[in-house]
Amino acid sequence: MRLLFVLAILIIAPVSTVIAQQYTARVLDEKSREAIPFATVQYAAHKGVITNEEGKFAFTAKLEETDTIKISSLGYEAFETVALHFKDSVIFLKPQSIKLSDVFLSNKNLSGEEIMERVKSNISNNYNLNLTQKRFFFRESQINKIRQFDLKVEESTIPELNQELMNKITSSIPRVTDSYKEVLGDFYGNYDTQKIQLIKAANLHNPQNLADLKELSGKLENIFQQNIKSNSFLKIKSGIVGVKVDAEEFAEDMKEEKPDSEKSADELQKARFQKQKDLGTFADSRIERLLQNIFWKEDITLDFFEKSRKYNFKLEGYAQMEDAVVYIISFEPKRGADFKGKIYVNTVDYGVYRLEYENVKPLKKFRLFGISTLEDVYRGMMIFSKDETGKYQPKYIEQEQGESFGIERPLKVIEKNKFVAGRRKQNELDLDIKIHSGQLRKYQMLVYENRPLTAKDFEGLKPTSNFEYETFKTYNAGFWDGYDIIEPNAAIKAFTALEQSLQ
């Protein structure tokens, strides 16, 4: 009877306030009805997420009905509601006007340059430079675009190597491909040294070589192999640059890796483990680079802070962020510098809440013999929030890097053989190549938990190689159930790999 009584109590007891639920919504500007990206959504002390570029967010938590969910964003009045009243919905934030009377009068006449000097002098006081443990979510998005891919046959002594084949090859190459990597883990360390332990990772891999393209490439290789005589060598020349390749060496290079269907279970497992290991190594290095490129660091690409004399700083006005009034300071080059942007600085302690930047010109250029590269995109954002000690901690870091590549060169492949009677030149293929492409990579890191860490505990930590890992050919939202992540945008949700099978 006692067991039945306990079961009855468990069944009829209210459980809605303790079961983890997912909360999701979209945040919009009340007047313009436009999405508000990077708004902070706080559902517990020092725990929360941010909205994505479409203003959407989602998190899973065990909240009591009276727990408060607070949404705030730069320049808007904060929105608060209790969990009981929260529904999947659209949330509107009201733009907030700032009166100069809200700003300390003694600070009102500071110039942009003077404010930045105070930011510099208060770095060690404002930011937590000690060892900490942080739970993070990291995403890399990579977009590849081919704007032009032309192979024009100028001369060919092999009938099968004709313009029709080249047209099939170029038409089979995908003009746009995307891929994504998502990682959840714990970060240990500070801005100088880090250790990372991964918990879970997803790889949305999109191979750029389609089955049709593989088939055509194989046909091209077979044509070469069937027409090249033994003891021949190939003279491959592009412009004034040429190389010599023996026929046996060429045949060896043409050997393809075994397809997955022919690999043993052990080989497949090793390949999967290597992909998992590579993803872990990549996440370690990229997160380390993001944190070691925080704006006050020396010898980094974003140099507006270190080389402030090369920039103009202008006080544009004031805004509300969290519970503070902030200066809005714009910066732009004055001596051939590379960046422009905005900085949002606390009017009381001169801590930077938010930084937005983008390059105003290509960072690097190269052009020689018809080959060109251009690093033409370098932009991003850093958002900080105060922890329980009043120190600023990174909440969200985003960086985009892009480059363009071009090649406009002739390519000549000549088969020569001194053991065949008559002319040494056996076959020739002359192509005119024009390729123009671009790549854009975006890195996003959300930090939503923060704990102190002792030096002894830090020294004893070792990176993990064993974590949950999956490769998907379509986006799988259920993979992250129960975890706080950056809500995927429409492009990620629509992701479909070009290849039919993945390992």
Torsional sign, CA 246, 249, 251, 253: negative
Using alpha carbons, select from 395, 399, 483 the residue that is nearest to residue 40.
Answer: 395
The tokens describing 89, both together, are 């919905």
pLDDT at 342: 97
How far apart CA 36 and CA 51 sit, in angstroms, is 7
Residue 10 has pLDDT above 70, yes or no: no
Q: Which residues contact 299 (CB under 8 A, 6 or more apart)?
A: 306
Is the pLDDT confidence value at 54 over 60? Answer: yes
Answer yes or no: is pLDDT of 501 > 60.
no
DSSP state of 16: T
Secondary structure element (H or E) that encloses residue 79, with its range: strand 79-82
Position 108 scores a pLDDT of: 60
Residue 294: C-alpha distances to residues 138, 353, 383, 500 (Å):
16, 13, 11, 41
Q: Give the E-state strand segments of 417-466 in sequence order.
A: 425-452
| Interatomic CA distance for residues 315 and 111, integer angstroms | 6
pTM above 0.95?
A: no
Q: Does the pLDDT at position 243 exceed 80?
A: no
Report the 10 Å Cβ neighbour count for 65.
12
Say what the pLDDT of residue 344 is.
Answer: 95
Query: How many alpha carbons fall within 13 Å on the CB side of residue 496?
Result: 3
Query: Does the pLDDT value for residue 86 go beyond 80?
Result: no
Q: Give the tokens for residue 176.
A: 């746009």
Mean pLDDT lowest among 105-114, 127-136, 243-252: 243-252
The whole-number average pLDDT for the span 335-348 is: 93
In whole angstroms, what is the distance from residue 341 CA to residue 358 CA?
6
Predicted local confidence at residue 3, as pLDDT? 37
3-class DSSP state for residue 327?
strand
Task: Give tens-digit pLDDT for 383-433.
Answer: 998 888 889 999 999 999 999 989 888 888 888 877 776 677 788 888 888
pLDDT value of position 502: 35
> Please, what is the end-to-end C-alpha distance for the chain in angstroms?
54
**pLDDT tops 60 at residue 446:** yes
Closest of 123, 97, 105, 293 to residue 194, by C-alpha? 293
Distance CA 473, CA 204 (A): 6
| b (16+ CB within 10 A) / e for 87-122 | eeeebebeeeebeeeebeeeeeebebbebbeebeeb
Give the pLDDT confidence score for residue 219 in this predicted structure. 66
Q: Where do the DSSP E strands lie in 128-229?
A: 132-156, 176-189, 194-204
Q: How far apart are CA 116 and CA 308, in angstroms?
A: 9
Smallest Cα–Cα separation from 183: which of 283, 53, 285? 283
Instruction: Report how far residue 325's alpha carbon sits from residue 38's, in angstroms, rounded to the nearest whole number.
Output: 18
Annotated domain spans of the chain:
127-301+363-473+483-493
- pLDDT above 70 covers a percentage of the chain that reads 83
